[in-house]
A = this chain, B = another copy of it.
Amino acid sequence: MRALSPQQLINGQWTSSGTEVFSALNPATHNPLPESFFEATEAELNSAVAVAGEAFEILQEYGYSERAALLDCIADKLVAHQAVIVQRAMQETGLPEGRLNGEMGRTCHQLRMFASVLRAGDWLHLTLDSALPERQPPRPDIRLMPVPLGPVAVFGASNFPLAFSTAGGDTASALAAGCPVIVKGHPAHPGTAALVAEVIAEALAESEMPAGCFALLQGRSPALSQKLVAHPGIKAVGFTGSLKVGRILFDIACQRPEPIPFYGELGSSNPVFLLSHALGLRGEAIAQDFVASLTLGCGQFCTNPGLLIAVKGEALEQLKAQLQELIPAQPWQTMLTPAIAANYEQQLASLKLQQGVEVLAEARPGHPDQSHGHACILRTSARDWLANPHLEEEIFGPCSLLVECDSHKQMLQVARRLNGHLTATLQGETADQQEAQPLVRILMNRVGRLLYNGYPTGVEVCHGMQHGGPYPAATDSRSTSVGANAIQRFVRPVCLQNLPDGLLPVALKASNPLNTSRTVDGQLKVTD
């Protein structure tokens, strides 16, 4: 593997024409890292999009199995260079080695999962309606399959330098769908991005696929991000980040002369409801597991549990006492960037000032180092919570708000007042099921994932996962950025009417050459 490049990767070449540079910072030490990265210019952006458009047409001449092989090849190469990449990511994010090795495992798993999805073929949802020449009017032969949307812009996430950045879930699903990808690297970890981009370029070369299928643009300027989303050659966007930035880019995507899908995964406060028997029987375990979920990765997950909802009583008082023991013992952790740490402190300070909100437990506040974050649990009454919509908003970091309800009925009121969230969680026992039933109904209309007796952090990458929830948790609740269905974001269906077999794409030919499932005249048929 060649040394880390400070330039842009365009059409398989590292290049730079700009003069502005920026450096990454080691958040654990506050020291800038030595390399100076070039800020991408508008000309470089245009060039990357132009070659992606050319690569898009060529890429469609490759089969699904060739795309699958590319994804496997990227995963193989990431594993081969794992040590170097993880070392760099540690320097740029302050995340521990174990976590980054785990994230690399997840990244490779995602790439290989999409490869297996491509090979299995069910994702195509092929649908055939036979011609009925005798009917009046005659029914034509109708065949339906997905086609890729075109070049996709992917924004690297601050909190997943591997699994939701350069070769992360969005890149993997877009390439799987047949779309070239232009990654805008997150400015907090440009070196990690450069190393991973080099891996992808090598995999494209080795697979003899167009180099224009992947580009990396580096930069800190919001204008670069905005121009990328506005570029007429970009046909969809994958974004993981804040509601504020996500909404700005979403608005640009919608206001283009040709609007495009914008898949923004924006986060939420992920309410956890404690039902009475669970709270009574295992409050101590709940307190421990909750704090573990809250402080994992210094709370820097979009599924972090930022709301805890329970009915007042003796059991809740015991839980509060346990939280008051556990939280002060939580160590300060390095946050991803000084800006994230400062923002966390500021939002936490603002939350403390809200009517009816008080601190329940806090880990040694006032740590002198501005790059670190500390755990905090606050409390309020359901009445105050219901009166103040700000108390539902996500705070990115290890803090959570306990909402104390007077009754189960009031808990249902709280549930009904929720806006969109990525997740909601119930802690319950068998004896709680009657209380749980209405909550399940209410919450299914407000979240993307509903958990029972688990905690929302640690999102499984599998076929049935759903990551996005109703706005403001995500900009498009009909899609997911995690799991096998993420590939569906980057395709659209095309209907082929009466095409002769010789002109049909291989997936739709009469002999079913891909040997995949098809819905024929309304009947779903699976092959052996």
Contacts and interface: CB of A to CB of B under 8 A. Distances in A.
A264 B321 CA distance: 55
A466 interface: yes
Contacts of A480: 493
A128 B60 CA distance: 31
Report the copy number of this chain in the oligomer: 2
B519 A444 contact: no
A84 B478 CA distance: 40
A503 B440 contact: yes
Interface in A110-134: 116, 120, 122, 127-129
B500 A465 contact: no
A251 interface: yes
Contacts of A494: 444, 447-450, 466
A475 interface: yes
A143 B464 CA distance: 6
A462 interface: yes
Given A466-B144, A493-B448, A60 B441 contact: yes
Max count, chain B CB within 10 A of own CB: residue among A122, A258, A445, A498: A445
A448 B144 CA distance: 10
A13 interface: no
A140 B460 contact: yes
Contacts of A98: none
A471 interface: yes
A472 interface: yes
A261 B263 CA distance: 13
Interface string A486-498: 0000011111111
A381 to B, nearest CB: 26
A485 B491 CA distance: 15
Contacts of A57: 441, 445
Interface of A: 57, 60, 116, 120, 122, 127-129, 137, 139-140, 142-144, 147, 149-150, 250-251, 254-255, 258-259, 261, 419-420, 430, 433, 436-437, 440-441, 444-445, 447-454, 458, 460, 462-466, 470-472, 475-478, 480, 484-485, 491-500, 502-503, 505, 517, 519, 521-522, 524-526
- Going nearest first, the 4 A-B pairs with the smallest beta carbon separation are A466-B495, A254-B254, A144-B464, A127-B464
24 contacts: A57-B441, A57-B445, A60-B441, A120-B522, A122-B519, A129-B464, A137-B458, A139-B460, A140-B454, A142-B464, A144-B465, A147-B444, A254-B254, A254-B255, A258-B419, A259-B471, A433-B503, A448-B494, A450-B494, A451-B498, A463-B519, A464-B495, A480-B493, A517-B524
Given A140-B451, A254-B254, A466-B495, 9 more contacts: A127-B464, A129-B460, A139-B460, A142-B465, A444-B505, A448-B493, A452-B503, A470-B492, A477-B492
